[in-house]
Amino acid sequence: MSKILERVFGAETSATPGPGARPDSGTADLAALKTQARKSGRRITKVESALEDQARAAALDSLFENENWEEIAALYFNARYAITGWEGFKLSEKQERVLGASMGTCMRLLLAIDPRWVALVIFSVNMTAFVTDKELSYRRMLVDAQASRKGSDNGGNRPKG
């Protein structure tokens, strides 16, 4: 009975083998199975986990560098300048840096709160950029069409001289 308990629970029993007795082969097999199970479980060590965390942090640091957010933060002003042509909408380099830094900080905080917010912001900015690009292209097409109509109207009417 003690050998059965030892095999099942891996605990030693009070019965000890005599001086010439061999270890039970079942006990040796059980110990080998336990060792193999521990090895095959492939748990990540603390060192491996720390290295993965460092790599993840480095990737996030490069993503959240302020210059990566400058263009996104300046999108409204660039679009307004493109639509109106008014120089007042152009941002200085310092203004772009300030906006990029604050937006990068905001994105880091959103990532800490809930990463889905960062994805939502990035989608919204991309959508806005595409819409703005298409609207500007359409506006240019209308202006060009209007200019060509005016040109053809004036082309037939030569000033008398």
pLDDT tens readout for residues 96-154: 999 999 998 888 888 888 888 888 888 888 888 888 888 888 888 998 999 999 887 76
Give me the sign of the Cα torsion angle 102, 107, 110, 112: negative
* CA separation for the pair 120, 69 (Å, rounded): 15
Neighbours of 100 (CB within 10 A): 20
* CA separation for the pair 107, 69 (Å, rounded): 9
Question: What does pTM read for this prediction?
Answer: 0.48
| Contact partners, residue 121, CB within 8 Å, separation at least 6 | 107, 110
* CA separation for the pair 28, 31 (Å, rounded): 5
Name the token pair of 23: 């270890």
| Contact partners, residue 5, CB within 8 Å, separation at least 6 | 11, 13
Neighbours of 74 (CB within 10 A): 19
Q: Are 3 and 17 in contact (CB under 8 A)?
A: no
* CA separation for the pair 71, 77 (Å, rounded): 10
Angle between helices 93-113 and 66-73 (to 10 degrees): 110
What is residue 95's predicted lDDT score, i.e. its pLDDT? 95
Q: Are 73 and 100 in contact (CB under 8 A)?
A: yes
Q: Are 36 and 29 in contact (CB under 8 A)?
A: no
What's the pLDDT tens digit per position in 46-67? 877 777 878 877 777 777 777 8
With a cut of 60, say whether residue 91 has pLDDT above it: yes
What is residue 18's predicted lDDT score, i.e. its pLDDT? 53
